[in-house]
Chains A and B, each alone.
Chain A
Amino acid sequence: MTDFRPEVAEFKKFSAPFEKEEQSTSKIMTHVVVGLLPSLLLSGIIFGGSALLLTGFCILTAIFWEWLSGMILKRPKSTDDLSAVVTGMVFAFMLPANFPFWKAAVGTFMAIVVFKQLFGGLGKNILNPAAASRLACWFIFRNSFIYPEPVVNSADVQSTGTLSLVSMADSYGDMFIGRVAGGLGEVSVLALLTGAFYLLAMRVISLYEPAAFLGTIFVFSYLTGQDGIYQILAGGTVLAAFFLGGDSVTTPITWKGKLAFGVLAGAITCVLRFYTHVPQAVLIAILVCDLLTPVIDRLTENKPRC
C-alpha cells in the first residue's frame, strides 16, 4: 500500500454499526481445526504415520478442489475461509488408516464439489459435505473399508479388524482411549472430548446438540436393554456428536432447534442400530436430520418480542 495522503480529507459513507467483532469465519474454522488436532495426534500414535499422511492428503486435496471449483464456477476465492480444511480433516477422520489415496481424493472431490459447491458454496449446502461424501464412499468403495488393527493394542483384544459395534467385545477403557479398530479420528473418545472441550470453551459449538444426541442414545439404549455407554463410545458416535452435529451450517440455528436435532438424530441412530442391519447408522441419522434442518429451523424460529 502506498502511503498516499490526499490534500483534503475524503470521507466515505458507511452505515452503522461502524465496528465489528474480531470474530470471522476463518477464525471459527481455525478453532475447529485446533479442536480436531488432539484426535489427529492420537491417530498418529494409534495407527502410525500413514494416518497422518492420509489426513494431510485429504486436507490438501480438499483445498485443491475448493480452489478449482471456485475458479470454474467463478466464485470469489473461498480457500481463505478454511472450511475446506475442516471438511478434509473430518472426512479423513472417518476413514480406515489404509484407505487408498486416490479413493480419498475422490471422496474429498465429492465432499467439496458435489456436496458443497454445487449446492451454492459454504453456508448453502444442506448436507454436511464430509458426512455425505463418507457415506457415498462407503457404498462405492465398500471393499476398501478394511479396518487395520491399531498399532498399540491392549493384549486382551483378539478380534482384529472388527469394529467395536460389530464385535461388541471391546472394553470401555480401550474405546475411550482409542485402542480399537475404526476410522482414524473417531476411535479415541478421549481426544475427541479434549477437542470438543476446547471448542465449547471458545464458544464455537454449543452443548445443546451433542448433549441431546448422546443423551438420547444413552436413554434409548437403557430403555431397550442395551449398553448405553458402549453405544456412545463405539462407531464414531462422539465424532458425529461434536463435529458433525457442531457444524453450524447444516444444523438448526436456535437452541431449541439444536435440541430437536440431537434428539431426532439420536433416536434414528438407535433405531437403525438395534432394529435393522443398516450399516453406518450414525451417518445416516445425521444426514437425515440435515435434510430436516430447514423444517426444524422453521418450527423453532425465535419469536419476536411482540
Chain B
Amino acid sequence: MKIFGIFLDREKNTENGLTIALPTPERVAVPLPKDGTAEVRAGQWVLTGSRLCGGSLPAHASVSGKVEEIKEFDTDDGSFTAVVIKADENQKDAAVRVPRADDRESFINAVRESGCPAAEKISAAADADMLIVNGVESEQYVTSENRCMLDDGKLITAGIALISRLMGIEKTVIAVASDCEEAVDAMEKTAADAPKCEVVKVRPDHPAGADMVLVNNVAGRPIKANETAAEKKVMILLPSEVAFIASYFETGMPFIKRRVTVDGDLVKTPCVVEAPIGTPLKDLFAFADGNLLPAEKLVIGGLMTGRCVTDPELPLGKCDSAALIFMKPLESGGKGSLKVVGGQTNCIRCGRCAKACPAGLMPMRIEKAVKKRKRTELRRLRPDLCIGCGSCTYVCPAKRELKDAVDKAKTILDRKGGDEE
C-alpha cells in the first residue's frame, strides 16, 4: 500500500535560476560537531579545506584566512561552537590528499573524513542492497536538490557507480517528483550511464521525500513508522551528497560548501547560491537583496519541517537546504499565510489531519489527550511514531497546532509517572 500525502502550494520561485556562487563572505563561522573540539587557535591562519576539528564528523575551513575566535552560539534550540574565520584576499586551497577506497570500511572512513553528513547515513545502512537517490523536494520554496540534479548529472552518475561498487548496492533508484520535468529528463540521462539504475517518478505530494515514504512507495518494502530505512536495507542519499562524494574522490576537497535556496517574501531576487558552510545568514540575504528590517520570521530549511531562528548572524549549517525570510504572519489568511494568529476554533472533527498523517496517527485525539494529560490513552495513540512532517497542522481548518501537541505528547510519555488526570 502506498502512502499518500497532501499537496502543497509549492511556490518554487527559484526552479529555473542557475546556481550562483556566493562571493567569498567577509567572515564565516564554521559550526563544529557536538563531540569535536577545535584543533585550531585564535590567530592561526588556515587554508580552504584544512581541518578544523576531529570528532565523528570533522569540520573544515570553508574559506582561507585568519581564525578570529572560537565562538559559542546560543540559540533557543541549544548551543554550539563555531570557528570564526576572517577571509583573506587571495583565497588559497590547502594541499588536500585525494582519498582512496577499495572496500566498505575505507570508503565509509573516507566519506567521514570529508565531513559530509552522508557519512552517517552510509555507515548506518552499510549492508543495504538498494540505494535511493532522494531527489524529491516536497516542501515549499526549497530547490537546491533540484538544481543539483540539473547541474551535476555527470557527478551523480560517477557517485552512484562508486557507491554501488564499494557498498555492494544491487539496485539504484533515483526518485524525482513527477512535476519536476527538467530534473526527470536530466536524471534519465544520468541513470542511463550509471550501473543498474533507474528513475522513478513519484507523486509530488508531501512528505514524498521522507525516508519512510520512500522506502514504502519507491522501494516497495512495507515499513513501519518506527523502523529506519537502514533496517529495510535501503540507503537513502540526497543527489547533492552523491555528487559531492564523486567530486571528493576526484579532487579531495572536503565538504565545505553547499547549495542553498534563498527566498521569501522579503527577498527581491530569489536564487540558489553555492555558499561556504558557515556563511552568516545575513550575508545570504544581502546577496539576494533581502530586506531584513521588516522581517519577522526567519526559517532555515523548508516551511514544513524547517526550523525558525531569531538571529540572522547564525551560520549556515551542513544540512541547511534553504534560508527563507518573511515579513509577517499575514492577517488576511490568504495564500502563503504564515502561521495565522487568529482564526483558531475548536476542532471540528473533520478528519483531515488523520487522513494527512503518513504515520497513520490520529493527531486530533493526541491533542485532546495531551490537554487532559491522559497517559494511558497517549500510550495507545503512539505519538512517538510521528515523523514530524507537519502535514497535520498544515491541513487543519480549525488551525490547531497539532504537530506541537504531538511533540508535547512525546515528552509527556518520556517522563515517568502515572496518569495525571
Interface set of A (CB-CB < 8 Å, partner B): 5-28, 78, 81, 120-124, 248-249, 251, 253-254, 301-306
Contacts and interface: CB of A to CB of B under 8 A. Distances in A.
B345 interface: yes
Contacts of B83: none
- Of the listed residues A6, A7, A27, A302, the one surrounded by the most CB atoms of chain B closer than 10 A to its CB is A302
A18 B294 contact: no
B208 to A, nearest CB: 16
A12 B297 contact: yes
Interface stretch (B88-96, B194-202, B305-313): B305-313
A12 B350 contact: no
Contacts of B350: 28, 248, 253
A18 B303 contact: yes
16 contacts: A5-B294, A8-B293, A9-B312, A11-B295, A11-B312, A13-B310, A16-B403, A18-B299, A18-B306, A21-B397, A23-B397, A24-B398, A248-B349, A253-B350, A253-B364, A304-B359
A9 B295 contact: yes
Contacts of B8: 19
A302 B351 CA distance: 11
B225 A305 contact: yes
B150 interface: no
Chain B: interface residue count, which band? 35 or more
B345 A81 contact: yes
Contacts of A15: 308, 401, 403-404
A117 B337 CA distance: 30
A254 B351 contact: yes
Contacts of A17: 303-305, 390-391, 393-394, 403
A7 B399 CA distance: 32
A122 B223 CA distance: 38
Contacts of B385: 304-306
Nearest to A77: B342
A304 B346 CA distance: 24
Interface in B368-421: 381-382, 385, 388, 390-391, 393-399, 401, 403-404
Contacts of A9: 292-296, 312
A301 B362 contact: yes
Contact of B397 (A12, A28, A304, A305): A28
B77 to A, nearest CB: 10
